[in-house]
Structure 1
């Protein structure tokens, strides 16, 4: 497992010591969730990019394709 160091103000560190919280676990969970959200956003951005580059279908095209498919069976 990798190690990450973070500098925080002494006052904040003193307040953290007063609380019964597993800070390494809290920070690990936060980072994992933040990475998941960033990955999702990256995928959404890629999908939007791909969709915006396409040519819009003519009005009624979907209806025609469905009708053609139904009629062929």
Structure 2
């Protein structure tokens, strides 16, 4: 799965082609990556669909939890 990162002042943002997340293993890997980034940087991590501006998933580092928009 190809991931594009966009670090910003309010957190780490990235997008992914959601069509590439066909199996649970891919979704699990993506959530593991989001948690690792958030934990390592102490910043929130936001996933957007490729080319889109709407949030798909958010990892909140301070709460150690995921949330949907």
TM-score, normalised on structure 2? 0.29
Judging by fraction of residues, say which structure has more helix: 1
Judging by fraction of residues, say which structure has more strand: 2
- Structure with higher Rg: it is 1
